Chain A
Amino acid sequence: MNATYNKEDKLLILEITEEIDHHTTEKIRRKADYEIERFSPKRTIFDFNKVTFMDSAGIGMLIGRYKLVTMLGGTMEMVHVKPSIMKIFEMCGIPKIIKVG
């Protein structure tokens, strides 16, 4: 995962670069929490451009990060989501809670 922080906009972009499953979520979670807690961003974007696979482990992980981000007064969204992954987000009702595009 790559992290980029824009100080002026208080914008944190977290680009996930691996497949998201139970095995990889632990590492993604640790790194994301570190960056979110460090900057307390106004806006956090998870960039899914490089994500080719995600199962329900990703849902649990993203909801956990959403809780942290909102607790710190920020917003969160997911961008560049592929159709096969969008299908999982929709099935889990994620677009009703978190902005997904």
Chain B
Amino acid sequence: MKGIYENYMKLEFASKSNNEAFARIAVAAFASQLDPSIEELADIKTAVSEAVTNCIIHGYEEKDGIVKIECMILANTISIEISDTGKGIEDIETAKEPLYTSKPDLERSGMGFTIMESFMDEMKVESVLGLGTKVTMKKMIKKEAKEESTYV
């Protein structure tokens, strides 16, 4: 992850489904230093869960692999990069369409990218067939009234 930042973390873990909860909780804990609202934190957890699950089911097709997460904080924005070195996506635009899934047999809803896109402020997908996929998401944590000072 390039660029300037005030804080940074990196996580790498095996592509096992029981790491999905670990990943979203770890990112939420890192994000909590921005003092997000409960709703903002829930949005981040859901988006991370979607991206990590995609690496495990689609990228590695439930075989062994490593999922990587990098997070960066700058001012009141958190950037989250989630990547795999799995099979890659042939047509990113189609993959991002609501309800599109390449695995309907697994009762997938095809709503993962749609959720990531609407729960975060920005989402970018980069992928090379046979090399892997990287999803970069950003969310600005809004300053709320609780931050205001009172002068007497």
Bound together, the chains give a CA A56 to CA B115 distance in angstroms of: 8
How many A-B pairs fall under 8 Å by CB? Answer: 60
Interface residues on B, range: 20 to 34
Partner of B108, one of A23, A53, A60, A91: A60
Within 8 A of A (CB), among B1-38: 17-18, 20-21, 24, 38
Question: Which secondary structure dominates where chain B touches chain A?
Answer: helix
Q: How far is the CB of B28 from chain A (nearest CB, A)?
A: 10
Contact assessment for B18 and A60 in the assembled complex, using a CB-CB cutoff below 8 Å: no
Residue with the greatest number of chain A CB neighbours at <10 A, chosen from B20, B107, B111: B107
A57 to B120, CA, bound (A): 18
Q: Give residues of chain B (51-102) contacting chain A, Cβ–Cβ below 8 Å.
A: 53, 56-57
In the assembled complex, 17 residue pairs joining A and B whose CB atoms fall closer than 8 Å, in A order, are A19-B21, A22-B17, A23-B21, A25-B107, A53-B42, A53-B45, A55-B49, A55-B53, A56-B108, A60-B109, A61-B107, A63-B109, A84-B42, A84-B46, A88-B115, A92-B109, A92-B111
Given contacts A21-B53, A60-B108, A91-B111, list 12 more A-B pairs with CB under 8 A: A21-B49, A22-B17, A22-B57, A23-B18, A23-B20, A29-B107, A53-B24, A55-B50, A56-B109, A64-B107, A88-B115, A91-B114
Q: Enumerate chain A interface residues (CB-CB to B < 8 A).
A: 19, 21-23, 25, 29, 53, 55-57, 59-61, 63-64, 83-84, 88, 91-92
